[in-house]
Structure 1
Amino acid sequence: MPFKKLIEPLKDVLENKGFEAPLAFQKLILSRIKGGASLFCIAPKGTGKTTSIILSVIQKLKGKAFEDAPRALIFVKNKQAALDLELEFNAYLRRTDLRVYCAYDEKNIDDQRNEIYDGVDIVIATPKRLNKLYYLNGINLNKLQLFIVEDAEFLFTNNNLAEISRTPESIGKCQYLVFSTLFDSRFERWQDSFMYNAQVIKFK
């Protein structure tokens, strides 16, 4: 997907940043994501995976806030990763009214429930905190359109794979995107369940 097919606010940000065209890996995945495909996006660091997440989410949500329930959920390994991704999102949100929220373990969960209840579009969450919020009826996943895992290597520590694997049981039709530097054989569990029709895109 060339950048010219993005919504105007994104094109403006990319132009201001001096980005004229997608990187080689982004050319492989952005049009597929826009088309609604679920993907395992496997590529080394520095190939534009994080920017692809940001562009795809904002494009999918058309840069517009909508009602109260989140439409995009992005799993990250810890608080710092959540805050870093939020900061990067904010650089692309000019001229949009999308609301980004970070949910991580170190913050008071009652405060998080109240803040999410006020309305969010994009939630960046650690797996354990997202599940706690869900089981406390602190987040509504019924409107979810995008389920994303950033830097998915962290899934294979601290029971994170099991934590995240439970979440799709609570949501309906959704697009799944997993970004990683390698395709681990344990991803095959997801291919046998909620990501059974996902494409594997590998870039070296």
Structure 2
Amino acid sequence: MSFKKLNPLLKESLENLEFDAPLPFQKEVLPIIKGGADAYVIGKKGIGKTAALVIHTIHKLKAEAFEDSPRALFIVENQQKIAELKDEFSKYIRNTDLRVYGTSERYDFEKQKVEIYYGQDIIIGTPAFISKLYFQNALHLGQIQLFVIEDADYMGRNNAYNHVLRLTESMDRFQSVITADEINSKIANYQNGYMNNARVLKFKD
């Protein structure tokens, strides 16, 4: 797959970043997830997993804002990961009107409720905090098209696994992608839950 088949606004962003062609890993994984398949993307850090997900998300959402409810939800381990992922998105959406919101356990909860209510396309947060937002009616999940757990090796800790299961019960007809360095028993169990015949894509380097 080349970048030629992506949304024009996204292609423009890639050109501005001087990305002429996908990395070997991205060339393999992007066509599969772009086709809508649920997937486990397993590989070491540094091979381009995050960039591939960001590119896929922007393309899937047609590089444009739409109404008020979020359409993509990213689950990450901690506040640092939230900031890093939000920064990564910011590189690719500068010429679009997509709205990316990084939640924070350190920021006023009521203000976050308001900021989300007035419209966000992509939400990033930890399992526990996203659950808190949802169960306090601050986050609508009915329009989620893409649900991602990034760097999911931590999912066996702090009740993260169960938080995710409860969140997925409120979503309908969404694509799910999980990335990790290695596949473990916790994330493998999602195959018996909300993952739909997920592809397991393993990359050594």
Query: After TM superposition, is the score higher than 0.5?
Result: yes
Give the structure 2 partner of residue 162 of structure 1.
Answer: 162
Equivalences for residues 1-204 of structure 1 within 5 A:
1-204=1-204
Contact 2:153/2:183 (<8 A) preserved: no
AA partner of residue 168 (structure 1)? T
Structure 2 CA distance for aligned equivalents of residues 63 and 196 of structure 1: 26
Question: Shift of the alpha carbon at 1:11?
Answer: 1.4
Where structure 2 has 5 or more consecutive residues not aligned to the other structure, the ranges are none
- Measure how far apart 1:188 and its partner are: 2.6
Contact 1:131 1:167 in 2 (8 A): yes
RMSD of aligned Cα (Å): 1.1
The Cα of 1:76 is off from its aligned counterpart by 0.8
What amino acid is aligned across from residue 81 of structure 2 in structure 1? A
Residue 56 of structure 1 and its aligned partner are, at CA, apart by 0.5
Shift of residue 148 of structure 1? 0.2
2:155 aligned counterpart, secondary structure: helix
User: 1:190: Cα distance to partner?
Assistant: 0.5
CA distance in 2, matches of 1:88, 1:123: 13
User: Which stretch of the first structure deviates more once superposed, 188-197 or 45-54?
Assistant: 188-197
SS at match of 2:148: strand
CA contact (8 A) 2:13 2:95 kept: no
Q: Which runs of 4+ in 1 moved over 4 A?
A: none
1:69 touches 1:120 (CA, 8 Å); kept in 2? yes
- Residues 14-60 of structure 1 show CA distances to partners (whole Å, capped at 9, x for unaligned) of 22222221111111210111110000000111110010111011000
| CA distance in structure 1 between the partners assigned to 2:69 and 2:99 by the alignment | 11
Q: Unpaired runs of 5+ in structure 1?
A: none
The amino acid of 2:67's aligned partner reads: E
> Is the Cα–Cα contact under 8 Å of residues 155 and 186 in structure 2 kept in the other structure?
no
- CA drift at 1:104: 2.6
Deviations 1:40-97 (A, max 9, x none): 0001111100101110110000011000000000001111111111111111002210
Aligned length: 204
What SS does the aligned partner of 2:92 have? coil
